[in-house]
Amino acid sequence: MALQYVVDALESVPEALRGEYVARDGKFYLSVDGVVPKERLDEFRNNNIAFKRELDDLKKTYEGVDVEKYKTLTAKEQQILDKKLIDAGKVDELVELRIAAMKTDHEKVVGTLTAENVSSKKQLEGLLIDSALRDAAAKSGVRVTAIDDVLLRGRQTFRLHEGVATAFEGDKPVYGKNSEPLSIGDWVGGLAERAPHLFEPSTGSNSKTATTGSAANKMTRAQYDALAPEARAAAIVGKELVD
């Protein structure tokens, strides 16, 4: 059975593979690098087509126009209009026009600065969350080769809220122990239950690996990948997936 990229409920997914799905906006998405939802791809393509049409229309409209000459003529036209207002004694009207022009320029500058500020905040948010995820992953025994997977999952779950990395499911915060907001450390620790293949095998005397870690209870990633999709769920039951 082929895995679906998006499902409404985890019950439709084989139990052994449910840890590969991440909750987002009321649905569950398969955690796969490089996959873009079809609707997002269609939106991107349609926007590109519309943008190209607008650009072609703009080129036709201004074809043959000398931009520098246009600026010079516009400046001269403004000087003539200003002189007419002054000669007619309409100085107050001229002042109002100048103030309106300055206000428009000011709003453009503010808009640009606001957009740049939002972009900078998003970049800072990404850096802070990634750093916290890496630190928690290292402390929790995540495999080095699985760090990027943890980062991908974490970025879909956490965002800064009042300066703190907070887990969200849709627009609602996620809570952990003692009704406190779920921390990045607890979230990474919880992955050990949902996606044990991301972690180094435990070697402690009280660990699950120590008691059930015989070769018969293990399956390598290569062995798992070599199975037909419909056979994987049954084959992994009761076994530890290892590299």
The full set of domain ranges for the chain reads 201-243
pTM listed for this prediction: 0.40
Six-digit token string for 43:
């939106």
CA-closest candidate to residue 126, choices 154, 100, 99: 154
Are residues 213 and 201 in contact, defined by beta-carbon separation less than 8 angstroms?
yes
Six-digit token string for 65:
């126009």
Six-digit token string for 59:
């080129």
Question: From the CB of residue 194, how many other CB atoms can be counted at a distance below 10 Å?
Answer: 13
**Matching residue, tokens 């070599």:** 226
Are residues 131 and 110 in contact, defined by beta-carbon separation less than 8 angstroms?
no
At 32-70, the pLDDT tens digits run: 655 566 677 778 788 888 888 888 888 888 777 777 877
Residues near 227 by Cβ (< 8 Å), separated by ≥ 6?
235
Six-digit token string for 54:
């607008």
Least confident of 66-75, 189-198, 224-233: 224-233
- Predicted confidence band at 205 (pLDDT cuts at 50, 70, 90)? very low
Strand 21-24 and strand 6-7: the pairing is: unpaired
Distance (Å, whole) CA 216 – CA 114:
60
At 110-150, the pLDDT tens digits run: 888 888 877 777 777 888 888 899 999 988 888 888 888 89
Describe the crossing of helices 91-139 and 147-155 by its angle, rounded to 10 degrees.
Answer: 140
User: Is 49 or 1 the better-scoring residue by pLDDT?
Assistant: 49
Question: From the CB of residue 224, how many other CB atoms can be counted at a distance below 10 Å?
Answer: 17
Distance (Å, whole) CA 107 – CA 234:
62
- Predicted confidence band at 236 (pLDDT cuts at 50, 70, 90)? low
